[in-house]
Amino acid sequence: MKKHSAMIKIAIASLNPTINDWSGQLNLIRKALDKARTQNAKLLVLPELSIGTPDAGDLYQWPQSALFAEQALSELAPLTLGLTVICGAPFRYENHLYNVAAVFHDGMLRGIVPKRYGERVTAEERWFSRWDYSKPLQQHLGAMIGAWVSDIPELENLQICVGDIVHYPDLVPGCLCVVLNNRPFVMNQYRTELKQHLALSEALGATIVRTNLLGSDDGTHVYDGGGFILNKGHIVALSPRFSFEDVVLITSEDKPAESFDPTLAHFEVSGSNPKSETDYPFAELELALCLALHDYLRRAHISRLCLALSGGRDSAMIAILAARLMAIRYPDESPEKLKDRMKDFLFCAYLPNISSSSDNTQKAALALAEHFGFSCPVIPINDMVAPNIAAIEQILGRKLTWEQDDLTLQNVQARARSTIIWTLANACDALLLTTGNLSESAVGYSTMDGDSSGCLDPIGNIPKTLVSAWLEWARNFHDIPELDLVFAQPPSAELRPIETDQQDEKDLMPYVVLDTYIDWFIVRKLSPKEVFSLAKQHLAEFYHNDDEIRRDIKKFVSRCTHSQWKRVRYANSFKVMHYDIAPDSELQWPCLQEAFPKALDEL
């Protein structure tokens, strides 16, 4: 392991700030400063928007936000005596708000470096302006605004990049490059970016220092805290990722842990540290979701969870994540003690209808509850469903039948379950979780105010195929043999009579096919005709003829486009995939629209 070649000791800090808590944000920075001084560091690098946070959204349009940020920077300046500190913050200048790196040296603000953007307009430009780097440096409050020109003797080779490093083609070979660029967690992205920065560090013969925020500031995005210090193509130091601490600091003299993934080695004691390449994506996903759930609870000021446990895959994954969250919070406690904690943390119920629920799903639900120690009473819904049906039959003057009223009879059960689980959540002062996955959301496969009920959907951004794959991994990695009972039956809503053998993939299509269509049609934005061509090449094993492919593509496109109104109402979820179909994010379709009739006619 090669040591950092610079003359000064560098520290980088990952912070977990709360939106709109300006004093709290400054307190986190104070903690980082104290840690840096304890480690005798001379340069402390803090993340982009350590003051302000990256997901404050339209709060940045409030004039008070700029004033609070300016006050925080003025209070920070005297705290930097004896240090050089680079801190991300919003900064107002000439009636424009900029996303900047504020550079302090020995108690004084010395520079303001605005973020550089690429050619494409970004979402954050709704709040932040682009700095015109063609104009000369400006002076404000005793600091220079614009490109960083170092006047600090021990940091003569310092270059500062705010934003993606690819927007800085003028980096000088041999420089000390500080990168402030928050990147929300996406599965498998961290190591790719680390390799890219290593290659650039080697090509330039430079030291690259990058920071990242930590936690879930807005209850949607997740930041892994994955900072690093690189020197001439070698790793000098790596920040621990997904930490539950509010401030994590490393220095250029901290050697990475000996582990398959040094950034996750601190989870060894809690049993979440990956041991191999096969483990890595699943363990990383687990840690991201647990950190996000941990932050959501503390920022919502709620300490308990509630869940309708169906014995199926989706609710099983969420229940296991809740148990893993407890294990990470209390890594030194015995399994018996963790079970005791689960009794007061997760409240579940199995809600069967005698005519549609199977014994197998009940066994699976109760076995998981026994394994992890949380409560899961069995509460039949028949006595709630029957009066509703009777009342409507009296109004209509006829019997409701499965032949004529299939969806009505299914949905009344889902909504009865919703009433019970909401009541349980309220009585236990718990956050009600819903269990929809991305695949079902894409085609609106849910009952509004039924199984879609809840405050938060932890797996709402995860496709069904990944849910199943994660559970198969967790079964062995975390030794949960009870999951075999979950795997023993195909996914089913269990809303039709048992003798009909209701299965999700019969109602929809195989989940492998559905998730592939989501990728082609929604993510890659291919036309139905292009999707058909690819399906003939890659999905032929699922079909007997071309007409069946056309049928499923038309079904998918129709259900997908007609379900936007449902997605508008779905509970918030954590974004962990490289794509998202949330209507306020990456799938901003009209609430109501036709299902691409001209394009479907071309099939």
Q: Is residue 4 part of a domain?
A: no
Pick the last residue of a domain from 258, 285, 306. 258
What confidence score (pLDDT) does residue 579 get? 92
- Residue closest to 180 by CA, chosen among 261, 260, 111, 267: 111
Task: Indicate whether 451 and 600 sit together in one domain.
Answer: no
Between the CA atoms of 573, 574, 577 and 581, what dihedral angle is there, to the nearest 10 degrees? 30
Give tens-digit pLDDT for 504-556.
999 999 999 999 999 999 999 999 999 999 999 999 999 999 999 999 999 99
The DSSP result for 344-371, as a single string, is TTEEEEB---TTT--HHHHHHHHHHHHH
Pick the last residue of a domain from 258, 288, 310. 258
Q: Which residues of the chain have pLDDT under 50?
A: 1-6
Instruction: Provide the percentage of residues in the chain whose pLDDT is more than 90.
Output: 91
C-alpha 603: how far from chain center: 36
Task: Indicate whether 473 and 354 sit together in one domain.
Answer: yes
Phi-psi sector, 510: left (phi>0), alpha (psi -120 to 50), beta:
beta
Q: Is residue 479 part of a domain?
A: yes
Mean confidence (pLDDT) of the chain: 95
What confidence score (pLDDT) does residue 369 get? 98
What confidence score (pLDDT) does residue 5 get? 42
Q: Can you tell me the distance from the alpha carbon of 108 to that of 131, in angstroms, rounded to the nearest whole number?
A: 23
Q: Can you tell me the distance from the alpha carbon of 549 to that of 554, in angstroms, rounded to the nearest whole number?
A: 9
Task: Indicate whether 29 and 154 sit together in one domain.
Answer: yes
What confidence score (pLDDT) does residue 7 get? 64
Q: How many domains does the chain have?
A: 3
Beta-sheet strand order (sheet of 207-211): 158-162, 176-180, 207-211, 228-231, 234-238
Strand-pair partners of 215: 223
What confidence score (pLDDT) does residue 3 get? 42
Task: Indicate whether 274 and 171 sit together in one domain.
Answer: no
Task: Indicate whether 167 and 119 sit together in one domain.
Answer: yes
- CA distances from residue 496 to 405, 418, 488 in whole angstroms, order as listed: 11, 17, 19
Q: The pTM is what?
A: 0.95
> Residue 555 is encoded by which pair of tokens?
């079904």
Task: Indicate whether 559 and 440 sit together in one domain.
Answer: no
Q: Is residue 1 part of a domain?
A: no
Task: Indicate whether 328 and 464 sit together in one domain.
Answer: yes
Task: Indicate whether 344 and 463 sit together in one domain.
Answer: yes
What confidence score (pLDDT) does residue 62 get? 94
Range of the domain at 367: 268-497
Pick the last residue of a domain from 497, 518, 549. 497
Q: Can you tell me the distance from the alpha carbon of 327 to that of 495, in angstroms, rounded to the nearest whole number?
A: 34
Task: Indicate whether 425 and 349 sit together in one domain.
Answer: yes
